[in-house]
């Protein structure tokens, strides 16, 4: 395992962090396969991973419980633990303390190393200011319930700067960043700004919700022609590790083989590991993806549950797969096999999901098109796609 710097702290994080949002399940999202998940987390720690990330809502609240179990038997002392305050659920100031106490109990720990305000967007930041939650955070720091404060982020570079400049006790920030998202949300501008301010920068969605792992033939041909052979996942991770501003890269792993592969990739990680020629190759892949991927959904599930029962990430995944992988017949069959109430036709354009989507996808505009293509057999016409 290779280790990096972490903002102003005299501590070296592993290049790879274990994200506990996509743990293996037994079907339903909240039914985590605990023995396998614990084995995966402990395998990562045994091979040098020293940063574990979870959050209050992951897996219907069960992620923190399982992470806590994985950190028993001496594993807690080997890692730094991060989780997040569910700001979206906070209605009054003392909710901050109530949720934090519940999380400490779930995790079975006395102190959380890194406590992040979850999913900062303008409405959630307004909640932080309205209830003076940063003062609550300061008290939690003083009481020893948390060691350091941070925030995860899904909004504009301007808000990113505003948040950083509004509080002196930030230690870290967590941003969505990958070679497809250089100008999206905080982007490269935010990455460099936070690093210049001395914050550690933790990267989430390095593989864009897994979309960069199994590329279409047009992209795979680019990787195949490269002088240095890497898997698609290795190219994406190496692109991030090559940047000195990146403190660590989180991966939400759901199978043991993914942990094994990512730990190996992290053992090769270093700043500047990609040459200028390598970076140009990644740029070629980016251009191809931009030309063929219709809906920028990362499968984060923040839009769920839909009040009308639509499986929003599910239908988007089928639609993207149909277009990107030239797999329309298979996608239409899978769509027809979905429970009828989960299909796109059930959307009534209430737009509740759009207030939660970190990608700002106009979901209500996409749904009629998705159903027309997958459910009614209409030919896909890119000119009809909504603009994100």
DSSP 363: H
pLDDT digits (tens, 9 = 90+) for 356-374: 999 899 999 999 999 999 9
| 198 token code pair | 């001395």
- Three-state DSSP class for 174? strand
Q: Hey, CA dihedral for 59, 61, 62, 64, is it positive or negative?
A: positive
Among the listed residues 51, 309, 69, 310, the one whose alpha carbon sits nearest the alpha carbon of residue 204: 51
Return residue ranges of the chain for CATH 3.20.20.100: 16-290
pTM as predicted: 0.81
| 162 token code pair | 């505003």
| 373 token code pair | 């293509």
pLDDT digits (tens, 9 = 90+) for 194-230: 999 999 999 999 998 787 888 888 899 999 999 999 9
How far apart CA 64 and CA 51 sit, in angstroms, is: 14
| pLDDT at residue 388, rounded to an integer | 62
Burial 135-164 (b: 16+ CB within 10 A, else e): ebbeebeeeebbbbbbbbbbbbbebbbebb
| pLDDT at residue 367, rounded to an integer | 96
Compute the average pLDDT of residues 288-294.
83
**CATH for 16-290, options being 3.20.20.100, 1.10.3720.10, 3.30.365.10, 2.60.40.10:** 3.20.20.100
DSSP 190-242: HHHHHHHTT-EEEEE-TTTTTTTTS--HHHHHHHHHSSS---HHHHHHHHHHT
On whether the CB atoms of residues 16 and 44 are closer than 8 A, the answer is yes
Compute the average pLDDT of residues 295-320.
92
DSSP 31: -
How far apart CA 81 and CA 53 sit, in angstroms, is: 6
Is the model's pLDDT at 131 over the cut of 80?
A: yes
Is the model's pLDDT at 247 over the cut of 70?
A: yes
% pLDDT > 70, the chain: 99
pLDDT digits (tens, 9 = 90+) for 72-126: 999 999 999 999 999 999 999 999 999 999 999 999 999 999 999 999 999 999 9
| pLDDT at residue 325, rounded to an integer | 66
Look at the block and give the residue holding tokens 């992040």.
116
Q: In 15-55, which residue ranges form alpha helices assigned H by DSSP?
A: 34-46
Cα–Cα separations (whole angstroms), residue 2 to 64, 96, 114, 269: 26, 35, 21, 6
Compute the average pLDDT of residues 273-296.
91
On whether the CB atoms of residues 23 and 66 are closer than 8 A, the answer is yes
Q: List the beta bridge partners of residue 255.
A: none
Higher pLDDT, residue 218 or 46: 46
Cα–Cα separations (whole angstroms), residue 162 to 126, 221, 321: 12, 42, 37
| pLDDT at residue 219, rounded to an integer | 92
Measured from the Cβ of residue 276, the count of other Cβ atoms closer than 10 Å reads 7
pLDDT digits (tens, 9 = 90+) for 149-192: 999 999 999 999 999 999 999 999 999 999 988 988 999 999 99
């Amino acid at each position: 395992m290779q280790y990096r710097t972490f903002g102003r702290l005299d501590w070296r994080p592993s290049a790879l962090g274990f994200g506990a949002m996509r743990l293996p399940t037994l079907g339903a999202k909240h039914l985590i396969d605990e023995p396998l998940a614990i084995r995966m987390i402990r395998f990562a720690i045994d091979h040098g991973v020293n940063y574990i990330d979870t959050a209050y809502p992951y897996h219907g609240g069960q992620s923190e419980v399982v992470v806590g179990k994985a950190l028993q038997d001496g594993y807690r002392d080997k890692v730094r633990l991060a989780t997040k305050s569910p700001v979206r659920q906070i209605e009054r100031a003392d909710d901050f303390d109530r949720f934090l106490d519940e999380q400490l109990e779930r995790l079975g720990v006395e102190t959380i190393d890194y406590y992040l305000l979850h999913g900062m967007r303008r409405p959630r930041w307004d909640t932080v200011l309205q209830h003076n939650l940063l003062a609550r955070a300061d008290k939690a720091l003083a009481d020893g319930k948390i060691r350091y404060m941070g925030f995860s982020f899904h909004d504009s570079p301007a808000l990113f700067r505003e948040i950083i400049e509004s509080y002196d006790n930030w230690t870290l920030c967590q941003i969505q960043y990958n070679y497809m998202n250089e100008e999206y949300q905080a982007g490269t501008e935010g990455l460099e700004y936070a690093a210049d301010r001395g914050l550690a920068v933790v990267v989430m969605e390095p593989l864009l919700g897994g979309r960069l792992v199994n590329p279409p033939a047009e992209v795979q041909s680019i990787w195949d022609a490269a002088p240095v052979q890497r898997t698609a996942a290795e190219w994406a991770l190496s692109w991030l590790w090559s940047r000195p501003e990146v403190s660590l890269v989180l991966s939400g792993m759901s199978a043991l083989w993914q942990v094994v592969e990512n730990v190996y990739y992290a053992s090769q990680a270093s700043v500047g590991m990609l040459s200028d020629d390598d970076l140009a190759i990644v740029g070629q892949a980016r251009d191809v993806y931009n030309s063929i991927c219709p809906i920028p959904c990362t499968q984060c599930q923040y839009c769920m549950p839909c009040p009308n029962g639509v499986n929003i990430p599910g239908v988007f995944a089928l639609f993207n797969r149909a277009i990107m992988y030239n797999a329309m017949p298979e996608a239409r069959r899978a769509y027809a096999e979905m429970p009828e109430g989960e299909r796109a036709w059930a959307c009534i354009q209430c737009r509740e999901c759009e207030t939660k989507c970190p990608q700002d996808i106009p979901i209500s505009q996409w749904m009629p098109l998705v159903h027309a293509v997958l459910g009614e057999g209409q030919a896909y016409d890119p000119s009809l796609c909504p603009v994100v």
